Amino acid sequence: MDISDNSTILIVDDTPENLRLLAEILGKRGYKVRPARSGPTALASVKAAHPDLILLDILMPEMDGYEVCRRLKANPATQDIPVIFVTALSETENILHAFAVGGVDYITKPFQVEEVMARVKTHLALQQTRKELEVQIAELDAFAHTVAHDLKSPLSVISGFADTLVDLSNALSPAELADYLSAVQRTSHKAINIIDELLLLASVRREQVTVQPLDMADIVAASQRRLESVLAHHQVQISLPGCWPSAIGYAPWVEEVWTNYLSNGIKYGGQPPHLSLGAENQSNGVVRFWVSDNGPGLSPTEQSRLFTEFTRLNQIRAEGHGLGLSIVRRIVHKLNGQAGVESQPGQGSTFYFTLPANQFGSAD
């Protein structure tokens, strides 16, 4: 059996024999098939769950295929579902009418199996490409909005201090001058960090990496070294496990995940922050890693705003978390894992991520 796809295809035909034949052809090739014997039934089926493609007969009682297609294309929620007409009508005017109401292709009965499969595969591929392009366009828009939003604040601060230094440099005491320059330096570092995060976020989607067994103790130590001065300044207490379960991933990206989680724990933990890092093998072949803090915890509403898709960053801004955790989500998803948070107000938060377990390795 040649299973090439698991896309869902809705077949609409009032003749049971035609439904069975098409369902058998497509089902043997791995497609999920949903039958409908009338136009109204087809519309109800689409409303309940959108298929990836529709094979639609024209000559049906109650409502013909033209009207079914016309209604689908008139609804913004269903207008992008590709419709291939499969019918015994072969006159030019029928074909032109099918395209006029929004069909993407036209197959005449009796059909050849190879022809049906070729057209189905072509239009599913085109549909997938269209969806990917829409995501990329949305990400570009969100990227531009995020750059403008996140960089505006630090650049405004830098500009304001620079103006003050130009206008009042002669009147400032050495101590005041040092304070102004220190503020400019801190804010510049913040702007550079934002740019680095945005570039990383974009590169994770674009790059293909080779996953390998991870030395998690070394990766966590590298993250701690990156945050060494901040950890010392906030007097952060960190508890580490004696050994780490072996997992598969890409070390530079996993280091970014730990760095983001540790940074969040520093910002939103208790005073002083106490962070507990850990990991355990799960029964489903993955390793679950986590950072627990002693902060005030998060409400369900606050939790729902974390780990937002990058395309939604211009709509939902999780204060202090949004961009960093969107990076975490993208990295972990690219490495075939999951990221999330468990928290209750007053009981701290546990930020976790999973990675595939190294089935042939041992703990670090």
pLDDT tens for 218-261 read 999 999 998 998 899 899 999 999 999 999 999 999 999 999 89
- Is the pLDDT higher at 299 or at 225? 225
Q: What is the pLDDT at residue 203?
A: 72
Q: How confident is the model at residue 316 (pLDDT cuts 50, 70, 90)?
A: very low
Confidence of residue 323 (pLDDT cuts 50, 70, 90): low
CATH number of 8-111: 3.40.50.2300
Indicate the range of 100-104, 136-140, 172-176, 301-305 predicted with least confidence. 136-140
What pLDDT does residue 363 have? Answer: 46
pLDDT reported for residue 46 = 96
Of the listed ranges 248-257, 268-277, 321-330, 341-350, the least confidently predicted one is: 321-330
Give the span between the Cα atoms of 180 and 151, in whole angstroms. Answer: 19
Residue 282 and residue 72: Cα distance in Å, rounded?
Answer: 44
Whether the link from the prior residue into 110 is cis, omega within 30° of 0, is yes
d(CA 36, CA 27) in angstroms, rounded, equals 15
Domain boundaries, the chain: 8-111, 134-206, 212-356
Query: Residues 128-149: what's their mean pLDDT?
Result: 75
Residues 6 or more apart whose CB falls under 8 angstroms from that of 213 comprise: 246, 247, 248, 358, 361
DSSP 291: E
DSSP per residue, 93-143: HHHHHHHHTT-SEEEESSPPHHHHHHHHHHHHHHHHHHHHHHHHHHHHHHH
What is the amino acid identity at position 334? K
Contacts of 356 (CB under 8 A, 6+ apart): 211, 247, 248, 249, 285, 286, 287, 335, 336, 337
Task: Round to whole Å and give the CA distance between 235 and 254.
Answer: 24
Give the model's confidence band at 354: pLDDT under 50 very low, under 70 low, under 90 confident, else very high: very high
Percent of the chain's residues with pLDDT above 70: 88
- Token pair, residue 306, equals 């974390």
Token reading at 260: 């983001």
CA distance 227 to 262: 8
The reported pLDDT for the residue numbered 50 is 95
Mean pLDDT of 172-201: 80
Backbone angles phi, psi at 313, to 5 degrees: -65, -25
**pLDDT-derived band of residue 2, with 50, 70 and 90 as boundaries?**
very low
Q: Residue 234: exposed, middle, or buried by beta-carbon count in 10 A (0-12, 13-18, 19+)?
A: middle
The CATH number, out of the four listed (3.80.30.20, 2.40.50.100, 1.10.287.130, 3.40.50.1980), of the domain defined by the range 134-206 = 1.10.287.130
Give dist(CA 346, CA 190) in Å, integer. Answer: 30
Give the strands of the sheet with 53-56, arranged side by side.
32-36, 8-12, 53-56, 83-87, 105-108
Report the mean per-residue pLDDT for the chain.
86
Statement: residue 312 has pLDDT above 70: no
The tally of CA atoms less than 13 A away on the side-chain side of residue 297 is 9
Least confident window among 14-23, 59-68, 108-117, 185-194: 185-194
pLDDT of residue 320: 42
Percent of the chain surpassing pLDDT 90: 54
Among 6-15, 154-163, 194-203, 237-246, the range scoring the smallest mean pLDDT is 194-203
Name residue 282's amino acid.
Q
What is the C-alpha separation between 169 and 215, in angstroms, rounded?
A: 52
Contact yes or no for 69/99 (Cβ under 8 A): no
Q: What is the pLDDT of residue 1?
A: 39
Helix or strand run (H / E) with residue 292: strand 286-292
- Residue 146's pLDDT is 64
Does the structure show a pLDDT above 50 at 156? yes
Residue 318 has pLDDT above 60, yes or no: no
- DSSP 8-state assignment for residue 357: B
Confidence of residue 361 (pLDDT cuts 50, 70, 90): low
Residue 140 has pLDDT above 90, yes or no: no
pLDDT of residue 149: 66
Q: Name the token pair of 242.
A: 């004696």
* CATH architecture of the domain with residue range 212-356: 2-Layer Sandwich (3.30)
Question: Which run of H or of E encompasses 212?
Answer: strand 212-213
- Residue 56 CA to residue 65 CA, distance in Å, equals 6
What 3-state class would DSSP assign to 245?
coil
Least confident among 61-75, 210-224, 295-309: 295-309
pLDDT of residue 176: 85
Structure tokens at 171: 């009147």
Position with higher pLDDT, 91 vs 318:
91
Amino acid (1-letter code) at residue 217: A
Q: Which residue has the higher pLDDT, 165 or 197?
A: 165
